[in-house]
Amino acid sequence: MRRLAVRLGLAACLLTGGGYVLFSFAVRANLAQFIPPPGKYDVRILRDTWGVPHIFGKRDTDTAYGLAYAHCEDDWQNMEDNCLIARARLAAARGKEWAKVDYLVQWFQVREFAQARYETDLAPDTRALLEAYAEGINHFAALHRDRMPDLPLPVTGVDIAAASAFKAPFFYDLQEVLQRVVHERGLTVTKNGVETALLPGRNPFAPHGEIGSNAWAVGPKRSADGCTRLAVNSHMPWTGPVTFYEAHLHSETGWNMTGGTFPGGPMIFLGHDENKGWCHTINRPDLADVYALEINPENPNQYKLDGAWRDFERRDAKITVRLWGPIHWTVKREMLWSVHGPAMRSPDGVFALRFAGYGEIGQIEQWYRMNKARDVNEFLDAMRLQKLDSLNTVYADKGGNLLYLYNGRFPVRAEGYPWQEVLPGDTSKAIWNQVYPFEQIPQVLNPPSGFLQSCNSSPFQSTDGPGNPRPEAFPASMGIETHMTNRALRALETYGADPSITREEFFRYKYDKAYSEASWMAISLKKLLEAPVPEEPLMRQGIALLRGWNRSVDRDNTAAPLGVLTSAYFTSHEKSGAPNGDPMEGLRKAVTTLMKHHGRLNLPWEQMMRLHRGEVNLGLGGGPDCLRAVDVTLQPDGTFSGVNGDCYILLVEWDPLGKVSSQSVHQFGSATLDARSPHYADQAPLFAGEKLKPVWLTEPEIRAHLEREYRPGEEARPPSRH
């Protein structure tokens, strides 16, 4: 009987695979239905000599449709994955490591909320934009089924809204709170010998390092020439689902934004137009809570609230995992919901989660309003929508206005509860249902100093001199950050210390590579140098080298490899800067690594710090938590490879008459996935050389630097083998 069962199971798998193939043929036969009829969209894609797409549409919907098509051309897998997130189908396409995302999408009821609220929570013009964007994806997928083989068609506006809503809470590190809901090992299920992790131990959208960003702005009273300048300096992973993509969007109805967007983003998320610009940086206030639930000993499907037993809402998540080829396996896992929010059983008890953004689908609408704002007042109106769960925002415009927002949907919490700890789940008094209004979040408008900065740190030092938000004005229950990153410290020590900033200085300070005396690097180095000196000659040589280090990661600095590597072995940076290990053991590991791979301790930093992209291998300056930010991983050959940090950089300037100009660079190029494209790594030498390219906003400028022009579907590329 056992052999028969095995044979029947194998036959079922093969039949499933055969059915999948037949289904694929059926879909291919009907792909024409997913190509918009001629004349439905009026849009042209102009690629400049760097491959950057300039999308010229008659209406906003035409432009969104063209953006989707162009983005698919350059980054089809991440565009496909974004849609699969909305369907909780990533593991079915990519394997078991993505099962945790599929579980969370179902547990957070992302698609249910999107479907239920799409018509009521999004304005008609926003829905039209999303649906046009979805049609651009459908058009590309229909023509290039080999590149998007796992994407069920049609993609809809609901898919785009759902994927955006799911990602949003992870920008304020929701995953750290999730770890409190389950055992430290994370939650797994084992089915037929296949173990699948369901909850992430880290941000699933930041596969390397931490996501962050820099932003600063200088107004006319602070610049030497009366200009207003804005630095859009995003820090995101260099590859993957939240890699920035540069695009320029233009319509005849007043949309002319250039900047960065993510896969699945139907508009610009940070950038500028003729009138204004903004940058987001990550903030991590306390926007989520965990509750310990008391379970009825007579009924495990009930929990106590206000003295009465209540029933959980309960369903099973169905997670389909690709094993190999067409063979899939579906596992089930219990999902619970209480009045607090999603709940889960764990070895330590039953816990519920409540977090900002649960059920919210309007993030896309707010970004659209920000794109279309014409001045600071309209931009403030867009921010008052409070659809974005978090994200600092630094704004500047042609009128010289500067704005900083420590943005977030801050819960209005009752006093008397330990909000940073696990909360009692048996009282409704600990369940918040409101967020603070926009006027009560930390913000600065036109500070006297004419300078603003935001580098993933405290909002209470966002400018130098008067004008900062006052800590005492905000209740502790808002969980506002008070730490200072090295980048924030150095922004204040460079821009903040210069009363008259020239254009050259504005650019030069951006590439600052020093660690402040108050930084985590300086704290860790001081602890190391105060420790007893070991007798080993190499350790003494290392100590001597570090005593002479100026805490800089310039390309030719010969102490930087030992300093950064030593610190990486025993320091937790970014937030507290607190050493969390034995400094001498960190130094010993660093010395061993450098001698094993390089045979010396004092090699130039650029020999250690590398940018890899296909066949390209370039030396870099900068390092973790510098204004020239590069987060790294240690490679088998003993070098660092940049994986995160500075990526899309955009520096914007409005002259005293209000005329805008800007320069930008991407760490690789516009072809974020296509290794055969000339734009796969053509910007890497600029990026490594700390240089920028011009941004062209007008059609005559673009045509003077035009590589090609086409409409979606006119230039079908040959099938990719990459």
| Residue type at position 218 | V
Q: Are 397 and 445 contained in the same domain?
A: yes
* Burial class of residue 167 in the structure, from the number of CB atoms within 10 Å of its CB (0-12 exposed, 13-18 middle, 19+ buried): buried
- DSSP letters for 270-333: EEE-SSEEEEEE------EEEEEEPEETTEEEEEEETTEEEEPEEEEEEEEEEEETTEEEEEEE
d(CA 639, CA 597): 8
| Coil, helix or strand at residue 642 | strand
Question: Within 13 Å, how many C-alpha atoms sit on residue 719's CB side?
Answer: 7
395 within 8 A of 379, measured Cβ to Cβ? yes
Q: Are 389 and 255 contained in the same domain?
A: yes
Percent of the chain with pLDDT over 70: 89
Query: Beta partners for 644?
Result: 631
Q: Are 454 and 568 contained in the same domain?
A: no
The answer to whether position 370 is within a domain reads yes
Range of the domain at 235: 214-285+364-414+435-510
- Residue 338 pLDDT > 90: yes
Query: Among residues 440, 439, 421, which one has the least CA distance to residue 430?
Result: 421
275 within 8 A of 138, measured Cβ to Cβ? no
Q: Are 408 and 259 contained in the same domain?
A: yes
d(CA 478, CA 623): 32
d(CA 399, CA 277): 12
The least confident of 2-11, 383-392, 465-474, 522-531 is 2-11
The answer to whether position 263 is within a domain reads yes
Last-in-domain residue among 475, 510, 545: 510
- Residue 160 pLDDT > 50: yes
Q: Are 390 and 477 contained in the same domain?
A: yes
DSSP at 704: T
The least confident of 565-579, 644-658, 686-700 is 565-579
- For residues 79-97, average pLDDT: 96
The answer to whether position 531 is within a domain reads yes
- For residues 33-57, average pLDDT: 97
637 within 8 A of 591, measured Cβ to Cβ? no
Q: Are 483 and 548 contained in the same domain?
A: no
The pTM score is 0.91
The answer to whether position 540 is within a domain reads yes
53 within 8 A of 70, measured Cβ to Cβ? yes
d(CA 419, CA 297): 27
d(CA 384, CA 446): 18
Q: Are 601 and 485 contained in the same domain?
A: no
**Residue ranges with strand state E in 205-287:** 214-218, 228-235, 245-251, 255-261, 270-272, 276-281
Q: What tokens appear for 112 in the block?
A: 């249910």
Helix runs in 35-170, H state only: 60-87, 90-94, 99-107, 110-121, 124-143, 157-167
d(CA 398, CA 241): 33
Backbone conformation region of residue 597, classed left if phi is above 0, alpha if psi is from -120 to 50, else beta = alpha
* Burial class of residue 718 in the structure, from the number of CB atoms within 10 Å of its CB (0-12 exposed, 13-18 middle, 19+ buried): exposed
- Residue 122 pLDDT > 50: yes
379 within 8 A of 370, measured Cβ to Cβ? yes
Q: Are 501 and 535 contained in the same domain?
A: no
- For residues 389-414, average pLDDT: 98
The answer to whether position 471 is within a domain reads yes
pLDDT band at 580 (very low <50, low <70, confident <90, very high): low
**Burial state string for 571-596 with b = 16 or more CB within 10 A and e = fewer than 16:** bebbbebebeeebbebbbbbbebbee
- Residue 10 pLDDT > 50: no
- For residues 232-238, average pLDDT: 94
Q: Are 386 and 471 contained in the same domain?
A: yes
Q: If you search the block for the tokens 């430290």, which residue do you land on?
A: 184
pLDDT band at 30 (very low <50, low <70, confident <90, very high): confident
Q: If you search the block for the tokens 């996501």, which residue do you land on?
A: 211
| Coil, helix or strand at residue 345 | strand
Q: Are 505 and 543 contained in the same domain?
A: no
d(CA 478, CA 473): 11
Percent of the chain with pLDDT over 90: 83
Residue, of 579 and 74, whose pLDDT is higher: 74
711 within 8 A of 69, measured Cβ to Cβ? no
Last-in-domain residue among 450, 476, 510: 510
CATH number of the domain that 451 lies in?
3.60.20.10
215 within 8 A of 229, measured Cβ to Cβ? no
Query: Among residues 314, 287, 289, which one has the least CA distance to residue 106?
Result: 314
pLDDT band at 14 (very low <50, low <70, confident <90, very high): very low
Structural domain total, the chain = 3
**Predicted pLDDT of residue 180:** 65
d(CA 391, CA 242): 15
**Burial state string for 465-490 with b = 16 or more CB within 10 A and e = fewer than 16:** eebbbeeeebeebbbbbeebbbbbbb
691 within 8 A of 620, measured Cβ to Cβ? no
- The values of phi and psi at residue 46, to 5°, are -110, 115
d(CA 10, CA 673): 36
d(CA 79, CA 217): 32
Bond before 266 cis per omega within 30 degrees:
no
Q: What tokens appear for 565 in the block?
A: 């590597």
41 within 8 A of 54, measured Cβ to Cβ? no
Q: What tokens appear for 535 in the block?
A: 């007798």
**Predicted pLDDT of residue 567:** 87
**Predicted pLDDT of residue 581:** 67
3-state DSSP percent of the chain in helix, strand and coil, to 5 = 35, 25, 40
The answer to whether position 482 is within a domain reads yes
- CA-only gyration radius of the chain, Å: 26
**Predicted pLDDT of residue 579:** 52
Across all residues in the chain, what is the average pLDDT?
90
DSSP at 457: S
Q: Are 543 and 621 contained in the same domain?
A: yes
The answer to whether position 553 is within a domain reads yes
CATH number of the domain that 602 lies in?
1.10.1400.10
* pLDDT (tens digit per residue) in 175-186: 888 876 654 334
- For residues 382-394, average pLDDT: 97
**Predicted pLDDT of residue 63:** 98
Centre a 10 Å sphere on the Cβ of residue 600 and count the other Cβ atoms it contains.
Answer: 13
* pLDDT (tens digit per residue) in 195-229: 333 333 444 444 444 568 999 999 999 999 999 99
Instruction: Give every strand in the sheet of 392-397, ordered side by side.
Output: 443-445, 402-405, 392-397, 276-281, 270-272, 255-261, 245-251, 53-57, 43-48, 706-710
Last-in-domain residue among 492, 510, 528: 510
- Residue 85 pLDDT > 80: yes
The answer to whether position 567 is within a domain reads yes
Q: Are 605 and 550 contained in the same domain?
A: yes
How many residues does this entry show for the chain? 722
Query: Beta partners for 640?
Result: 609, 634
- The values of phi and psi at residue 175, to 5°, are -60, -30
